[in-house]
């Protein structure tokens, strides 16, 4: 987020710790958690890396960053803040080549805020498009007319297109399709469903639950650290796999259990929006709604493909007796592997 003031510019950049680990080792003892002490030990190097890969230019002249601060927030995100003088300019360019150091496909939400607090522009930056160019509208020609009251500052024109509803929907679809833990959880739920109504209850309860916590976390009403959420997601997978084996069928009232576990998964979805920089401090309604819609569309596509196959196979006795239990064992084992990995590695 970039905030314009009368005489200065203030910038805030947010990154997940695990993303910073890709370019600089912060977890020096390799226990899977970057402690405050480890962060302090590497803060100077991290600050240098980030500031040298972020630039602000006014009419082609680079601005000198001041008041640079690099912090580890309560949500285990790295926050970089800096400011610079805001001169009179015709063109301002903000460049974030740091994106190219991160995971392929990473995106970052850029928000430009006016001195009044109004949002002037939102842009979704990527590795192929890490630069935002802002052009001020030309000043009107001078005339001999009587002096008028001071006008509002010129309106900036941003060169790149704003992030669209469709872009955030696409992000949501992509996230569910590459979110192997969420997909495995969904598969474990669906593999024992007997009919459309049973599947509908499970999918609906999961959708409602994770939509609630996705909104709660994105609006900064509640936060749980990723070091808790990721193992908890793995634990939900273990539980569902084991319950499939114990119940030997579609457990009664599973939609209630699915609702509770969906609340946990919602915090995992929220981490994606936070890493983009979508928070309650900026325009959150459209990204939140469209991203969540994308997640739901991805789930519907997966369910629409998987359920007919599952129901057709369940008509065969050998599938019910051997394949379904075997799949449940594999689900629980995979969940256990992720749990151990996320807690101790």
pLDDT digits (tens, 9 = 90+) for 125-149: 888 888 888 876 544 444 454 544 4
Identify whether residues 157 and 271 lie together within a single domain: no
E strands, the chain, are 2-4, 8-16, 55-58, 61-62, 66-72, 77-85, 91-95, 107-113, 119-126, 131-136, 156-158
Do 142 and 204 lie in one domain? The reply is: no
Q: Are residues 326 and 208 in the same domain?
A: yes
Q: What is the pLDDT of residue 171?
A: 84
- Whether the pLDDT of residue 332 is over 90: the answer is yes
109 and 75 housed in the same domain: yes
Q: Is the pLDDT of residue 155 over 60?
A: no
Please tell me which residue, 119 or 82, carries the higher pLDDT value.
Answer: 82
82 — pLDDT class (breaks 50, 70, 90) = very high
Residues of the chain above pLDDT 70, percent: 88
Length reported for the chain: 345
CA angle 215–338–335, rounded 5-degree value: 85
Tens of pLDDT, residue by residue over 188-231, are: 999 988 888 888 889 999 999 999 998 888 787 887 777 788 89
Are 63 and 205 members of one domain?
no
Q: Is pTM, for the whole model, over 0.85?
A: no
Average pLDDT across the chain, whole number: 83
83 and 15 share one domain = yes
Q: What is the full DSSP assignment across 165-220?
A: HHHHHHHHHHHHHH-HHHHHHHHHHHTT--SHHHHHHHHHHHHHHHHHHHHHHHTT
Q: How far is residue 243's CA from residue 235's CA, in Å, rounded to a whole number?
A: 12
Boundary-marking domain end, from 132, 163, 194: 163
Both 157 and 213 in a single domain? no
87 and 187 housed in the same domain: no
| The total number of structural domains that make up the chain | 2
The model's pLDDT over 256-265, given as tens digits with 9 standing for 90+, comes to 999 999 999 9
> CB neighbours of 10 closer than 8 A, spacing ≥ 6?
2, 3, 81, 82, 83
Q: Choose the final residue of a domain: 163, 185, 201.
A: 163
Q: 274 versus 68: which is more confidently predicted?
A: 68
What is the predicted pLDDT for the residue at 144? 52
pLDDT at 104 > cutoff 80: no
- Of 163, 197, 232, the position where a domain reaches its end is 163
Q: Give the domain range for residue 307.
A: 166-344
9-67 per-position pLDDT tens digit: 999 988 878 788 878 888 887 776 788 888 898 899 999 998 999 999 999 899 999 99
More confident residue, 79 or 158: 79
Same domain, yes or no: 65 and 52: yes
Do 134 and 199 sit in the same domain of this protein? Answer: no
pLDDT at 188: 92
Mean pLDDT of 326-337: 94
Q: Does residue 151 sit in the same domain as residue 174?
A: no
Q: What is the pLDDT of residue 342?
A: 84
Residues 96 and 152 in one domain: yes
Model confidence at 237: pLDDT above 90 = yes
pLDDT of residue 140: 46
In which band, very low, low, confident or very high, does the pLDDT at 101 lie, cut at 50, 70 and 90? confident
- With 60 as the cut, is the pLDDT of residue 305 above it? yes
What pLDDT sits at residue 153?
Answer: 46
């Amino acid at each position: 987020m970039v905030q314009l003031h009368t005489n200065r510019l203030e910038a805030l950049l947010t990154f997940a710790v695990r993303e910073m680990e890709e370019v600089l080792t912060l977890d020096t003892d390799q226990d899977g958690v970057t402690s405050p002490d480890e962060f302090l030990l590497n803060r100077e190097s991290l600050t240098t890396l980030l500031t040298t890969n972020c630039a602000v230019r006014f009419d082609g002249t680079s601005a000198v960053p001041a008041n640079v601060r690099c912090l580890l927030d309560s949500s285990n995100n790295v926050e970089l803040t800096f400011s610079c003088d805001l001169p009179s300019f015709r063109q301002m360019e903000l460049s974030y080549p740091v994106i190219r150091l991160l995971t392929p496909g990473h995106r970052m939400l850029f928000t430009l805020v006016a001195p009044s607090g109004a949002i002037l522009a939102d842009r979704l930056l990527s590795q192929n498009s890490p630069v935002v160019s802002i052009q001020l509208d030309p000043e009107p020609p001078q005339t001999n007319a009587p002096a008028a009251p001071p006008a509002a500052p010129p309106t900036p024109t941003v060169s790149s297109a704003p992030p669209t509803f469709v872009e955030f929907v696409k992000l949501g679809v992509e996230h569910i399709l590459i979110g192997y833990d969420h997909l495995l959880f969904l598969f474990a739920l669906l593999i024992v469903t007997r009919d459309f109504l049973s599947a509908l209850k499970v999918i609906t309860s999961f959708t409602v639950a994770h939509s609630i916590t996705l909104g709660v976390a994105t609006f900064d009403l509640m936060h749980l650290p990723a070091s808790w959420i990721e193992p908890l997601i793995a634990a939900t997978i273990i539980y569902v796999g084991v319950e499939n084996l114990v119940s030997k069928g579609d457990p009664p009232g599973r939609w209630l259990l699915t609702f509770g576990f969906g609340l946990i998964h919602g915090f995992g979805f929220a981490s994606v929006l936070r890493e983009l920089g979508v928070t309650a401090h900026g325009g959150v309604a459209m990204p939140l709604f469209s991203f969540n819609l994308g997640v739901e569309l991805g789930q519907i596509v997966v369910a629409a493909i998987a359920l007919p196959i599952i129901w057709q196979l369940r008509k065969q006795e050998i599938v019910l007796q051997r394949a379904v239990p075997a799949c449940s064992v594999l689900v629980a084992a995979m969940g256990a592997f992720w749990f151990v990995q996320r807690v101790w590695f």
